[in-house]
Structure 1
Amino acid sequence: MQAGKVYPIHNLSVFKQQLLSWASQFNSCCFLDNHQYASPWQQQECLLAVGAKAMLQTQAGQALAQIDAFTQEHSGQWIFGHLGYGLTYELMRQQSQHPHPNGFADACLFVPEIVLQCNDNSVCIYVEDQDLANAIFQAIKSQSVGSDAPQSQMHIGRMSPVLSQESYLQTIAKLQQHILRGDCYEINFCQQFLVPYSEVDPVALYQSLCEVSPNPFSCYYKIDSNHLACASPERFLMKRGGKLYSQPIKGTASRHKYNADTDEILKRQLQQSEKDRSENVMVVDLVRNDLSQICNSGSVKVAELFGIYTYPQVHQMISTIEGELRPGTSFAQILQATFPMGSMTGAPKPSVVSLIDKYEQGQRGIFSGSVGYIQPNGDFDFNVVIRSIVYEQAAKLLHYHVGSGITHYSVPEKEYEECRWKSAAIEQVLSNLQAQ
């Protein structure tokens, strides 16, 4: 792909909406949005990739070797895609007791036909035929948004939890028995909610989610008839130059959006919470161990411990771990050492992955996996797929997961309450769409 062509934009928010509207015509689409969060680790404000010159879709088994071959073959090009949680079984050398879920493959990577890179006042369009760049820009600018956009008829089915509240509480008690026996230290347990018989506009679904809960690792992702609307606040892994950065989240507190003093108290309580600090330290140690397998000796360090970040729905405790990547380490080798992310499993990984499969009601699919991109220079950035809705358009099925980290000190009822905080934005979106 040649050097990009730059065009001025006058309203970034409106242009992002036009990008999404235009992108929805393609079978493969990856839209990544930082929502203008300021951070020393920020890579891009907004990226869009559409079309596929080459694509890999694969299931766990021999996926890592295929990912390695694909990324090596297309080195020097933009690559976008996802890594589903199903890759975990291959990397941990385990078998799932559950049938493979429908929808997204365990992994998908594609070399896009067109890439658009936005900042506050310009967009750069990368396309092989530069004569097409003008036509692409004009086509995007012609998209109607807001009240001028055509409205789709939508129907949202009735939400059904796969696990009842009583069953959830009983499961947490069983997991705590495993912790007491020393089978694990901490485990991330998730529950799934199904919304069958749903017909929605996937782009409108994503935009509604971001209106309620804009987060720095948001994405709208589409492969054929499968769609992901993601409002994630969490980074899995970033490579910038010769360094790797991971920013796991462990520690969540609800917001009080109508009383600033109360909201500040909740934030301070999270900062001082021994339980949340304990969970956070566990995942920091796990990530340090992961990175030490592929980074230069002595280079792995904690750049920030117990950072408190505020988002529209919750306060989060986030730590940042960095290390100098060992020269010659491939993307597949990095995944071998770091995936799945510790914040979505617990510790130690092999034990908790087995327990997750035993006690959760099915495989997670793309949830708690990752969506992101690799740049032509080899730098990359991948999120953690949480706070997300999956729409399987062919099956007319919406579904989403929420979870929390379980420790010996966890109170099952409070863990259930935390899950409700995390799903609040999703439930609000579905309720708003149902009312339209």
Structure 2
Amino acid sequence: MSLQDLYSFKQKALTWASSFEVCCVLDSNDYTDPYSAFDLILAVGVKEELNARSEDKFTELKAFYEQHKSWMFGLLSYDLKNEVEQLSSCNADQLGFPDLFFFVPRYLLRVKDGKAEVLVGEPAILDTIDRISPLIAPYNKDISIQSRISKELYLKTVETLQQHIARGDIYEINFCQEFYALHAAVDPVAIYCKLSEVSPTPFSGFFKIKDQYILSASPERFLCKRARQLISQPIKGTAKRSPDKEEDARIKNKLRKNIKEQAENVMIVDLVRNDLTKSAIKGSVKVDELFGIYGFPQVYQMISTISSKLDPAVHFVDAIKQAFPMGSMTGAPKVKAMELIETYESSKRGAYSGAMGYINPQGDFDFNVIIRSILYHADTRYLSFQVGGAITFASNAADEYEECLLKASAIIQTLKT
């Protein structure tokens, strides 16, 4: 089915998908790269489901894939770190997302090159979607956003973390803070559509697990597999864009040459190289691009690409486990950084800074990093989003706070408009 109006189709399809208890919609927003497999994909309804509850959830995922070997979509929450390493999570959790949740969909639709097709389910689904009204119900615009910690505490914590760096405990740490709203009566579909308008990104996604929603405008890929190749693309380095073309070009060039941002980026590149080495054919890990500068509506980002060849003796689920959680959201050394994150952050991360994505029948996969995302529990009406940045010894605490607000700007604009 050729699509004359992709925007209208997206709204209709999302409205249809969200009427089911479980759905996952992944949208590239017209960004393309050598590893893209589609422009838009919708996994809707549950044929089979895994809500892993054992102490070895990655092994459960491996068994779930081996049993079904079909398309499956899912969530890897940040706190799976406690299985990868000897860590714990004791901070407050107001959202309660599963640690690891995957499902085999009843219906699967894909859009590529302007054409929609049904991969799983009856082709007549497209006619059903076409008859849906694209109008989005209004949502509550009076959302009172609060910060979990004050600016003063944020600044003080950054300075404390820099003392850890000075002592040699860590080199870099990703420190995050939560913004939240109580009694937030919102329409998740309308919010997601608005967020996608304000901040279209290549790894956007809408994930519904009954009353829980992830509304993501993520610009970052965690890990992708194509045949035997693994690809990770960490982001470290941010600059606010300008509406003035000449000034915007200067900002881009300044970020490209920024020594501090390069230092942050290369630390994480080295960490990711080490993570990929654990599952790679010896000597196959390489940096395909270092310090690439990419533009998004609000910001420029410094993105590097690291790849490797998966060792045939290693199951791809183990490769995911050995790279998780992503270095861009932890720090270096990774384990010590995660210990300090638990000590100094005020909220459990849960789904935030985890990953969502898909695995296909051939064992290829693609997962984003859940950042620039709204997390919402419809039953309790608790709405949350977290933002953070890399703290190094050279960081300026006030600048880091402003960078957090910049990263949150698209979400704040979405909720306040």
Q: Give me the whole-angstrom Cα distance separating, in 2, the residues matched to 1:421 and 1:349.
A: 26
Return the match for 1:113 from 93, 106, 112.
Answer: 106
Structure 2 counterpart SS, 1:113: strand
1:9 maps to 2:11: no
CA distance in 2, matches of 1:25, 1:417: 38
Corresponding residue of 1:414: 399
The residue aligned with 1:309 is 294
Deviations 1:165-215 (A, max 9, x none): 000000000000000111111000000011111111101000000110000
* Gap runs ≥5 in structure 2: none
Task: Using the TM superposition, give the Cα deviation of residue 16 of structure 1 relative to its aligned residue in structure 2, in angstroms.
Answer: 1.3
**Residue of structure 1 in register with 2:119 after alignment:** 126
State the Cα distance separating 1:113 from its structure 2 match. 0.6
State the SS of the aligned residue for 2:174.
strand
Tell me the distance in 2 between the aligned counterparts of 1:100 and 1:170.
Answer: 23
CA distance in 2 between counterparts of 1:99 and 1:13 reads 38
Range that drifts further, 88-97 or 188-197: 88-97
> Which whole-Å CA distance do the structure 1 matches of 2:325 and 2:373 have between them?
17
Match of 1:68 among 62, 84, 89: 62
Residue by residue over 1:48-103, the C-alpha shift from the partner in whole angstroms, topping out at 9 and shown as x without a partner, is 0001111111357332221222122122x001011001101221121223255533
Residue 78 of structure 2 aligns to a residue whose secondary structure is coil
CA distances 1:325-381 after superposition (whole Å, capped 9, x unpaired)? 111422331122100000000111110000000000021010000010011111100
Residue of structure 1 in register with 2:128 after alignment: 139
Name the SS of the counterpart of 1:193 in structure 2.
Answer: strand
Q: What whole-Å deviation, never above 9, does each CA across 1:244-289 have from its counterpart, x for those lacking one?
A: 00000000001112x1111111111111111100011001101111
Query: Which amino acid in the other structure matches residue 320 of structure 2?
Result: L
Equivalent positions of 1:30-429 (< 5 A) are 30-59=24-53, 61-75=55-69, 77-127=70-120, 132-134=122-124, 136-145=125-134, 149=135, 151-154=137-140, 156-257=142-243, 259-429=244-414
SS of the residue corresponding to residue 8 of structure 1 reads coil
Cα separation, 1, equivalents of 2:91 and 2:52 = 18
Separation in 2, partners of 1:151, 1:349: 44
Q: 1:309 to 1:42 in 2, by over 3 A?
A: same
Which amino acid in the other structure matches residue 161 of structure 1? S
| Cα distance change on mapping 1:395 and 1:247 into 2, 3 Å | same
CA apart distance, 1:216: 0.3
**Secondary structure, counterpart of 2:36 in structure 1:** coil
Contact 2:375 2:384 in 1 (8 A): yes
1:133 match: secondary structure: coil
Partners of 1:60 and 1:90 within 8 A in 2: no
Deviation at 1:19, TM superposition (A): 0.9
Q: Distance in 1 between matches of 2:360 and 2:52?
A: 21
- Unaligned stretches of 5+ in structure 1? 1-6
Contact 1:156/1:200 (<8 A) preserved: no
Distance 1:417 1:350 in 2: 27
Q: Deviations over 1:130-161 (max 9, x none)?
A: xx322x1111001111xxx2624535431110
Deviations 1:35-55 (A, max 9, x none): 111322322211100011111
Asked if structure 2 preserves the Cα contact closer than 8 Å seen for 1:190 and 1:360, the reply is yes
**Separation in structure 2 between the aligned mates of residue 156 and residue 29 of structure 1, nearest angstrom:** 27
Q: Is the 8 A contact 1:156 1:197 kept in 2?
A: no
Q: How many Å separate the matches in 1 of 2:225 and 2:353?
A: 20
Give the stretch that moved more between structures: 296-305 or 60-69.
Answer: 60-69
CA distance in 2: counterparts of 1:396 and 1:273, whole angstroms: 42
Q: Give distance in 2, aligned partners of 1:59 and 1:188.
A: 28
Pair 1:263–1:236, CA change in 2 (3 A): same
Paired residue type of 1:41: Y
> What is the percent sequence identity of the aligned residues?
46
Question: Secondary structure at 1:184's aligned position in 2?
Answer: coil
CA distance in 2, matches of 1:348, 1:364: 19
Matched letter for residue 313 of structure 1 = Q
- Counterpart of 1:3 in structure 2 is none
How many residues of Structure 1 are paired with residues of Structure 2 in the alignment? 417
Secondary structure in 1 matching 2:185: coil
Separation in 1, partners of 2:260, 2:53: 37
CA contact (8 A) 2:136 2:190 kept: no
Give, in whole Å, the separation in 1 of the partners of 2:382 and 2:170. Answer: 34
Aligned partners of 2:229 and 2:308 also within 8 Å: yes
CA distance in 2, matches of 1:80, 1:150: 25
Offset at 1:18?
Answer: 1.3
CA distance in 2, matches of 1:221, 1:198: 18
Alpha-carbon separation, structure 2, partners of 1:28 and 1:231: 19
Native 8 Å contact 2:214 2:375 kept in 1: yes
Taking structure 1 as the reference length, the TM-score comes to 0.93
Give the RMSD, CA atoms, in angstroms. 1.3
Distance (whole Å) between structure 2 residues aligned to residue 59 and residue 348 of structure 1: 28
- Cα distance in 1 between the residues matched to 2:375 and 2:54: 20
Q: Quick one: structure 1 residues 117 and 397, their matched pair in 2 at CA, closer, same or farther if it must change by over 3 Å? A: same
Aligned to 2:22: 28
Moved more, 158-167 or 97-106: 97-106
Does structure 1 retain, via aligned residues, the 8 Å contact 2:139–2:190?
no
State how far apart, in whole Å, the 2-side matches of 1:92 and 1:150 are.
44
